Amino acid sequence: MKFDKISQVSYHFIAMLKLPIYMDNHATTPIDPRVLEAMGSCLREHFGNASSLNHPFGWQAQKLVERARAQIARLLHADSKEIVFTSGATESNNLALKGIAEIYGEKGRHLIMQVTEHKSVLDPARHLERHGFQVTYLPVDSYGQIRLDELERAITGKTILISIMAANNEIGTLEPIEEIGRIAKEKGVLFHADAAQAVGRIPVDVEKMGIDLLSFSAHKMYGPKGIGALYVRRKNPRVRLAPQIHGGGQEGGLRSGTLNVPAIVGFGEACEIAARELETETERILRLRTRLYEAVTRGLDEVTLNGHPRNRLAGNLNLSFSGVEGESLLMSLSEEIAVSSGSACTQARVEPSYVLKALGLAEDLVHSSIRFGLGRFNTEEEVDYTARRVVQTVRRLREISPLYEKTGSGKKSERKPTLQEGLPK
């Protein structure tokens, strides 16, 4: 493997690292060994069907499922009966939007969301539009947040659902969820939040935040893939949903299908760990993010921070590098460092980020963006190595880029405020 202009000391440093380095924790997270241990014991010993309630194998499986359901509910400050298991946040989002539309469609056929929602919210919304529903897509400001006064003005007597994501998957911006929940309650409108990036990374309290439906996945919080949940409020108000998968009537009839007991056990364990370690983990990851940002911006000019400078996920760093194509930078780093240029769910289609475009970012900067997603298992050594490789690679690409000759000024970019230290307010 070739490294440009790295000293013998650096070669010794590389030998201490395990390459490639994983910094794409918004796409998915590695499974925590403690989660894997809990799942392994379940796979080896407790293989029963949780719906087989006429023998001990089924009883034990059901007991494990209900224990996990309680662990998950505690993380959200919810009741365990309000947790519906799904295959992941995409299915949860579909169940929330389509399930609400089918039940409450006679009351009204209007929904509200923001333009930067995940595709698993935007695509079901477009499906509903084709079936006679009206959807208002709220714009966002230059940091990626909606304006609360625009949300209030968008609500009509026919509005049945507001769906606003808690944390953006590309730029990490946190939305004012508690204020949105308050507005929804005052107007008598149901409130759904796609919290795939939020649960396990920031404190989530469905009661305090006024959330009626909440979608999330285990694999975004060091749990297994293929398992997620939808929180569905049971009182004040009691939310009703039309099931989208029919069959055996599992999960209170809302989501039929044999329960994936080992994955559910892992999901519960991941939530238990998050509830216990969230504060200290957030502070550690925040220090790593600050270290990465400062090292990159010390070594390079014309770097733009995308997203809110403070109210963002601790592990998120989305940067644009003037004069460099993001795909070229990704390819140059790919054998050593795993990062991305946007949502993992749309990587099959090479297209500019609609999230960055919605911020009003210049077209050249949209194409030059990279998302770093730091997580539980990243180290200072990995951050330092990543920063050096990014600086070296960007410098090399700029040397051969006619774009940078036109735009490079040698000065620090002032297009966005600098990253602010400290936890989100």
Domain CATH for 244: 3.40.640.10
Place of tokens 């440093």: 13
How far is Cα 337 from Cα 28, in angstroms, rounded to an integer?
15
Nearest Cα neighbor of 137 from 175, 168, 163 is 163
Evaluate whether residue 420 is within a structural domain.
no
Other C-beta atoms closer than 10 Å to the C-beta of 197 total: 28
- State which of 274, 292, 322 marks the end of a domain: 274
Q: Looking at the structure, do residues 22 and 39 belong to the same domain, yes or no?
A: no
Per-residue pLDDT of the chain (425 residues; tens, 9 = 90+): 344 444 444 444 555 789 999 999 999 999 999 999 999 988 888 999 999 999 999 999 999 999 999 999 999 999 999 999 999 999 999 999 999 999 999 999 999 999 999 999 999 999 999 999 999 999 999 999 999 999 999 999 999 999 999 999 999 999 999 999 999 999 999 999 999 999 999 999 999 999 999 999 999 999 999 999 999 999 999 999 999 999 999 999 999 999 999 999 999 999 999 999 999 999 999 999 999 999 999 999 999 999 999 999 999 999 999 999 889 999 999 999 999 986 445 445 557 899 999 999 999 999 999 999 999 999 999 999 999 999 999 999 999 887 676 554 444 444 445 777 666 76
Q: Is 72 part of any domain?
A: yes
Question: What's the one-letter identity of residue 20?
Answer: P
Take residue 397 and report the two structure tokens written for it.
């690409």
Domain span at 293: 8-31+277-407
Final residue belonging to a domain, choices 225, 256, 274? 274
Are 240 and 308 found together in one domain? Answer: no
The per-residue pLDDT for 418 is 72
The residues with which 21 forms a beta bridge, in sequence order, are: 337
Contact 52, 192 (CB under 8 A): no
Q: Are residues 17 and 61 in the same domain?
A: no
How many beta carbons lie within 10 A of that of residue 285, not counting itself?
Answer: 21
CB 80 within 8 A of CB 175: no
Are 419 and 305 contacting, i.e. CB atoms less than 8 angstroms apart? yes
Is residue 69 domain-shared with residue 187, that is, in the same domain? Answer: yes
Residues labelled catalytic: 345
Instruction: Report yes or no on 41 lying in a domain.
Output: yes
Q: Do you know the residue count of the chain?
A: 425
Q: What is the 3-state secondary structure (H, E, C) of 52-117?
A: CCCCHHHHHHHHHHHHHHHHHHHHHCCCHHHEEEECCHHHHHHHHHHHHHHHHCCCCCEEEEECCC
CA 159 to each of CA 104, 130, 210, 268: distance values in angstroms, whole numbers, following the listed order? 10, 17, 17, 34
In a domain, 422, yes or no: no
